[in-house]
């Protein structure tokens, strides 16, 4: 009969240990889940932060918000800005009611062969279309985008499957419109140069 209390005591100790381990596991899992959630929230916050680029031109300033869901195109553009590729570059092709085009360091429209091409990147998400005020990659065909870009003066949605829109003008659309109205020659090249004096990342 004396063995029964001892057995009950042993069972009680075992139950306490088991319950303690279960509580430990639950706490551990909850901590891991909380850490994962914090990381996800941080990543989401980081992804929401779009880069802002400033073009200081001889006709006024233009601020452009780059889309964060276009890592190839936006990444390429940001690198070119950081490397100073656009400093001193002109808008070599301007067509009223259509677009203004620039970004060619040679100023010819043929592009700089030293700058590599990038793969076309189409998200087809709302906002990633060639609407008025958006900036898109100029190219000579599929996967030939490089440094040249254009800013849409109107909704040019027939270009949506050929030219990836990767950002939009958030300040200075009046400057864009002013550039569109300069005098051009028969090749749509401004008679008086319209120049990007300095391109920089401000956010």
Q: Is the per-residue pLDDT at 83 higher than 80?
A: yes
What is the C-alpha to C-alpha distance for residues 39 and 59, in angstroms, rounded to an integer?
44
Question: What length does the chain have?
Answer: 203
pTM for the full predicted model: 0.76
The residues annotated as belonging to the active site are 93, 98, 101, 139, 150, 159, 163
Mean pLDDT of the chain: 84
Binned at pLDDT 50, 70 and 90, residue 66 comes out as very high
pLDDT per residue as tens digits for the range 111-163: 999 999 999 999 877 667 999 999 999 999 999 999 999 999 999 999 999 99
Query: What residues contact residue 24 under an 8 Å CB cut-off, 6+ apart?
Result: none
Helix/strand/coil percentages in the chain, nearest 5: 35, 25, 40
Q: What is the mean pLDDT of residues 165-173?
A: 98
CATH class as words, domain 52-201:
mainly beta
pLDDT per residue as tens digits for the range 1-30: 555 555 555 655 555 544 444 443 433 443
Domain positions in the chain = 1-48, 52-201
């Amino acid at each position: 009969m004396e063995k029964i209390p001892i057995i009950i005591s042993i069972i009680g100790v075992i139950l306490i240990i088991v319950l303690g381990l279960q509580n430990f596991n639950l706490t551990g899992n909850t901590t891991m889940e909380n850490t994962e959630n914090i990381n996800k929230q941080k990543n989401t916050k980081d992804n929401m932060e779009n880069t802002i680029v400033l073009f200081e031109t001889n006709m006024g300033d233009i601020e452009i918000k780059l889309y964060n869901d276009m890592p190839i195109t936006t990444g390429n553009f940001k690198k070119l800005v950081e490397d100073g590729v656009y400093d001193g570059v002109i808008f070599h092709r301007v067509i009223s009611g259509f677009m203004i085009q620039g970004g060619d360091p040679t100023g010819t429209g043929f592009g700089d062969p030293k700058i590599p091409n990038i793969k076309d990147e189409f998200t087809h998400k709302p906002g990633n279309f060639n609407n008025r005020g958006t900036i898109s990659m100029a190219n000579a065909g599929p996967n030939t985008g490089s440094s040249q870009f254009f800013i849409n003066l109107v909704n040019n949605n027939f270009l949506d499957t050929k030219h990836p829109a990767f950002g939009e003008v958030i300040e200075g659309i009046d400057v864009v419109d002013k550039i569109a109205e300069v005098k051009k020659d028969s090749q749509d090249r401004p008679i008086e140069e319209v120049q990007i004096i300095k391109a920089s990342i401000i956010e």
